[in-house]
Amino acid sequence: MFYALVIFGVILLWVLKNHMKWRKEILNHIEKIDGPKAYPFIGTLYLFFGVKRSDVYKTICTTAEQYKPVFRTWTKSTPEVHIMKPEHIEIVLRSSVLITKGKIYELIRPWLGEGLLISTGAKWFQRRKMITPAFHFRILEHYMEVFVEKSKQLVNILESKSNGEIFDIYPYITHCALDIICETAMGVSVNAMDDVTGNSYVDSLYRASELIIRRRFTPWYHSNLYYLFPEGKEFQKHLNVLHGFTSKVIGDRKQILKDNPNKKINPTFDDMLTSSKKRLSFLDLLLSANETIPDKDIREEVDTFMFEGHDTTTAGICWSLFLIGNNQDVQGKVYEELKQILGDKKCPESISDLSDLKYLECCIKEALRIYPSVPFISRKVTEDIEINGYKIPKGVYCNLHIHKVHRDPEIYPDPMKFDPDRFLPENTAKRHPYAYVPFSAGPRNCIGQKFAMYEEKTILAAILTSYKITTIDSQSTVNELAELIMRPEQGVRIRLQKR
């Protein structure tokens, strides 16, 4: 016992010595970077003490504006470097080494586990390789049937609101997107649009997202003691709802495959493309590989795609409607294009139709520039890098301000102006490739970005073909909530006029 204690003590002293050496090296480099004053135990988190939920994003923007283009903060004793120039963002995103997500994702882990969003290393690479075929162009063609069906259903539901009344369209889009991700990627119907007044999964998702951000800026919530606090207990309650919903989706799909053996798939890529099965889902891929993928891992991937597959597209569609409804000249051009391409059709019916809607796509891209669905990305620096003349040592976290690079006046003059022409080919040709990254970029870019663009174009085309939209709030009055997803605090209030 004595010798064991001596050995343990020697190892502990060695670990502490090396940790202090590492801390000294970190400090030597990090403190050369400008940023707000840090204090023991809380770092720079005091900037958010007492700040209302509605003002968190403003505080982030104010800090970034004060110390741009590169600055540092401390989350308790953990240093974080913030960047917002395309040439700096490129260094991180293009790297095949810097693929480990940042510290904020640790707070999301209880919800999404080691799904594709959070996992790293060999596990991430293997899963990415396995899941990618489910989002191949030819597979997405099969999903058009669902995009069209749900878009038409949404248009019919909205007819009851086309009497001139003012209403929030956000929950309608949310439930439509939820129906689409479940029926395409999961292969099950949840009929969320049957009741847009409430959905326990959606309600828990929004509240869980809010609680995660509150925990992020509250230092005494960072340990697992969080679950002893009332907020931690509430978060666990919402986790149970979220996990319960996805577990039911998985169970329903398993039952469908059990009841219909001919629907089971061979997970090879060639079989996927030649299969007569029209709605091949990514969940089928996971279930067909259940000998190598545990049930827990399947749920983690489903949790990830359920969240990312409907919440981000909802935001993209709603911000597009918000801006198009605020710019009637743009809406007129969109409608002219829709009539020219679709004729008497009330909705695009093929990917070919979607490809021809080039101006509508410019509108979506411009909306995602001004209001990116994911305004921040964070990575762990796993090897030393240099940014703006500063050495960023291994072990530091790097936060990428997508919203700031998208609103950089040096790249986009009058950056808050909604101008879809910015994305005409002649205007994008000379732009830095990392000046526009709403779907991230590099090895960890969004696997579902084509899926998202097709879905958003289909829904927007269906709505704008049938209705003229007038947005009630303006860009100067809307308040942005940049939590896990950037949303308007009060939703998107509009007035519909039937065409």
Place of tokens 């391409």: 341
- The CA distance from 42 to 167, in Å, is 42
Place of tokens 């801006």: 323
Element (H, E) at 473: none
Task: Report the 3 state secondary structure along 381-424.
Answer: CCCCEEECCEEECCCCEEEEEHHHHHCCCCCCCCCCCCCHHHHC
- The CA distance from 481 to 403, in Å, is 12
- The CA distance from 172 to 176, in Å, is 6
Position 20 scores a pLDDT of: 55
Q: Are 265 and 128 in contact (CB under 8 A)?
A: no
- Write the CA distances from 303 to 119, 121, 298, 299, integer angstroms: 13, 20, 9, 6
Show Cβ contacts of residue 113 under 8 Å, excluding neighbours closer than 6 positions: 296, 297, 299, 300, 303
Residues of the chain with pLDDT under 50: 15, 17, 266-267, 276-277
Q: Are 205 and 311 in contact (CB under 8 A)?
A: yes
Show Cβ contacts of residue 446 under 8 Å, excluding neighbours closer than 6 positions: 308, 439, 440, 452
Place of tokens 């030597």: 28
Q: Are 480 and 486 in contact (CB under 8 A)?
A: yes
Position 276 scores a pLDDT of: 47
- The CA distance from 170 to 165, in Å, is 15
Nearest to 184 by CA among 448, 464, 485, 462: 448
Task: Tell me the HSE value of 206 on the side-chain side, using a 13 A CA sphere.
Answer: 16
Position 131 scores a pLDDT of: 86
Position 177 scores a pLDDT of: 96
Set out the domains of the chain in order of their start, with CATH numbers.
Answer: 31-498 (1.10.630.10)
Show Cβ contacts of residue 336 under 8 Å, excluding neighbours closer than 6 positions: none
> Exposure of 198 by Cβ count < 10 A (0-12 exposed, 13-18 middle, 19+ buried)?
exposed
Q: What is the CA radius of gyration of the chain?
A: 24
